[in-house]
Amino acid sequence: MIRVKGIILHRSVPMMAALLALVISAAQGFAQTQDPEGTDFDQTQIITGDRTLTVDKAFKIATLPNEVDIDSRKEELSIELIPRRPAVGVEAEPIDAARVKMREPLQPLYNGYVKGGVGTYQSPLLEAMYHSTRKRDLSFGVKYRHLSSNRGIRNVAYSGFSQNELAAWGKKIFKQHSLETKASFERDVWHYYGWDPQDLDVNKKDIQQRFDLLNLENRWRSYYRDSSKVNHDLVLNIYQLNDRLSSGEFGLFAGGELHAYRGAHYFSLNTGFDLISYSSDGLSGLPVAPINPSPLEAPTPSTTNAIVHATPRIVLQSGGLRAAVGMGLYMQVENIARFHAFPDAELSYSLFNNLFIPYAGVTGSVNRVGYRSITGENPFVLNALDLQNSITRYRAFGGIRGSISDKLSFNTAISIDRTDQTPLFVNDITYSRENRFDLVYDDIRTLSIMGEVNYMHSEKWEAGMRLELLSYSTDQQDEAWHLPAHRFSLFGKYRLYDKLHAGLEIFWIGKRDVRGFEEIMLESGESAIAFTSLELPAYLDMSLELEYRYTKRLSAFVQVHNLSASRYDIYYRFPAQRGFAIGGMRYAF
């Protein structure tokens, strides 16, 4: 065994000798098989008789290897790097442009459409609109709509109507602001049809009422990205309303909202100046005598009053807790100024990432009661009215709202409020035959229990339901006239492959108490009129709308109202049309 610099080698002498002898003999044998002269060497031996063959013993070296230490000197190895910058050639090669699809392309917009149709009760429909297409900072449009009915309802006077609207609007977007304006003119024609003329030949123009409304709306809004800046949303609305019977109203509203963040708190200020000027030249009579005429001269009411309000509010939020605290300050100005202050607060808490949000609050306000708002709700009123603003002393509410998913949301609430000088509609017998309405005012306390659910499945279909139970308590009147005991609504919309659009609406209005009259005999033998309370039964109204699109431009539609053909009164003695249907075509250009 030999050790060299720590490396150990093992060797077997006999094994090595045998291996060497084998290699040499093989080489010689191979060499002798080749005769350079071409003759072979014959190794064959022929032996005759006995012969003993022996092999000599191999000579073996008995000396064993010894371990020898060899000194070796380790030299330090040094590596020196020669700095040299390699020459690298850079050549730019052109790359073909790539097309990346970031989102679906926008559907093309058409500038406008024309819609026309004909319905029952000889009811033509015409609607046309022109609008600018997509622009970054400017949009404008114009629209006209006409719907009328030229056939009356049985057992009442002529009940035809006409609704017309012409409007133009525009919107300009600046760097941090936007300006919107809209001008419109509306003309609505109605008839006081809530009585049965029987054999009387009544000219429909003698019971006709017409409202002409000229309206101008303006809005100036800011979009500051810095939340610490004060953003504003300002409006200026002006209108003039005139009717066929020499009554009119001018209105002006200027107000807006200021809001900004200061740290984690949100501050807002809502302000407004609401002015109306209403006047009437007196009541216009009917071709027949009223039921209970008054010996007094018909009134010619007029009023000019303003409502000024300011509602500062601060919103605090910490985690799921949100608190909004403010104060509503109001001033009514007519002959004298009257001041009102109401709390304006709401508290809510988000549970389980908006799955449930309990909330509660209290508020109050002064509410505008004008000729425009009243005739917009009930066009069959007298043209000479005593107008008084209502005052909601308080409205306390609480409930739970939330989102079960991104498609399903709900809201439940209970509220109690008191509103003084609430206007109520009662049938007039002093200047008409119950076919016009007057206003009476009362302080009403209302208990409301409400629940609603909304579901939206992408853009294909959606549905919603709302139920509200109501209970009223009055101070002077026997009942809260014409106010329903409950309201239920259900709607659904469905779209099939952008070809068929279907919509369904169901309304269920509960019973309503209305004021009637009866003739009684006094002890003196004279007759007199006494007011009584009557009840209008609940009614169901279902509406269905279908639209089939032949192409993206051309479609056909059908609308059916009051599917059940129920005969019910919109107001006492004013029945609704039974089974009203209208159909037509729509073309986009």
CB atoms within 10 A of CB 194: 24
Distance set, CA 300 to CA 73, 114, 303, 383 (Å):
131, 44, 10, 10
The residue ranking higher by pLDDT, 86 or 397, is 397
Q: State mean pLDDT over 260-265.
A: 90
CA distance 312 to 501: 45
Give residue 51's pLDDT. Answer: 64
- The pLDDT confidence band at residue 227, using thresholds 50, 70 and 90, is confident
pLDDT > 70 in the chain, percent? 87
In a domain, 395, yes or no: no
Decide if pLDDT at 439 tops 90. yes
- 487 φ/ψ angles, rounded to the nearest 5 degrees: -135, 130
Q: State mean pLDDT over 266-282.
A: 96
Q: State how far Cα 400 lies from the chain centre.
A: 20
**Nearest Cα to 215, choosing from 250, 248, 179, 245?**
250
| Burial (Cβ within 10 Å: 0-12, 13-18, ≥19) of residue 451 | middle
Domain range spanning residue 183?
A: 114-219
What DSSP state is assigned to residue 58? P
> 267: Cβ–Cβ under 8 A, 6 or more apart, which residues?
259, 260, 261, 312, 313, 314, 315
- Alpha helices, H only, 144-249: none
Distance set, CA 197 to CA 49, 122, 193, 229, 578 (Å):
169, 22, 9, 65, 20
Give residue 460's pLDDT. Answer: 86
Q: State mean pLDDT over 325-350.
A: 96
Decide if pLDDT at 413 tops 50. yes
Decide if pLDDT at 18 tops 70. no
- Tell whether the torsion through CA atoms of 398, 404, 405 and 408 is positive or negative: negative
In a domain, 195, yes or no: yes
Q: pLDDT tens digit string along 178-196?
A: 999 999 999 999 999 999 8
- Tell whether the torsion through CA atoms of 333, 335, 339 and 345 is positive or negative: negative
CA distance 295 to 289: 13
pTM for this prediction: 0.81
The average confidence (pLDDT) of the chain is 88
The shares of helix, strand and coil residues in the chain, as percent rounded to the nearest 5, are 5, 55, 40
Comparing 148-157, 394-403, 431-440, 542-551, the range with the smallest average pLDDT is: 148-157
The residue ranking higher by pLDDT, 568 or 198, is 568
Three-state SS string across 274-329, please?
EEEEEEECCCCCCCCCCCCCCCCCCCCCEEEEEEEEEEEEEEEEECCEEEEEEEEE
- The pLDDT confidence band at residue 15, using thresholds 50, 70 and 90, is low
- The pLDDT confidence band at residue 48, using thresholds 50, 70 and 90, is low
Query: 167 has which bridge partners?
Result: 143, 184
Give residue 20's pLDDT. Answer: 52
In a domain, 251, yes or no: no
CA distance 558 to 156: 28
CA distance 81 to 564: 100
Tokens 């949009």 belong to residue: 139
Q: Are 128 and 143 in contact (CB under 8 A)?
A: yes
CB atoms within 10 A of CB 146: 16
HSE-CB for 49 with a 13 A CA cutoff: 1
Domain count, the chain: 1
Q: State mean pLDDT over 514-529.
A: 87
Q: Are 164 and 146 in contact (CB under 8 A)?
A: yes
Give residue 198's pLDDT. Answer: 84
Let me know the angle formed at the C-alpha of 137 by 136 and 143, rounded to the nearest 5 degrees: 100
In a domain, 144, yes or no: yes
Query: 144 has which bridge partners?
Result: 128, 166
Long-range contacts of 397-401 (CB under 8 A, 24+ apart): 397/360, 397/361, 397/362, 398/358, 398/359, 398/360, 398/361, 399/358, 399/359, 399/360, 399/450, 400/356, 400/357, 400/358, 400/359, 401/357, 401/359
Three-state SS string across 440-501, please?
EEEEEEEEEEEEEEEEEECCCEEEEEEEEEEEEEECCCCCCCCCECEEEEEEEEEEECCCEE
Q: State mean pLDDT over 310-336.
A: 96
In a domain, 153, yes or no: yes
Decide if pLDDT at 153 tops 70. yes
Tokens 């009055």 belong to residue: 474
CA distance 4 to 164: 117
Give residue 364's pLDDT. Answer: 98
Give residue 335's pLDDT. Answer: 87
CA distance 464 to 503: 12
Secondary structure (3-state) at 1: coil
Decide if pLDDT at 25 tops 60. no
**Nearest Cα to 277, choosing from 372, 364, 341?**
372
Give residue 43's pLDDT. Answer: 60
- The pLDDT confidence band at residue 247, using thresholds 50, 70 and 90, is very high
Q: State mean pLDDT over 37-52.
A: 61
Give residue 21's pLDDT. Answer: 53
CA distance 100 to 93: 21
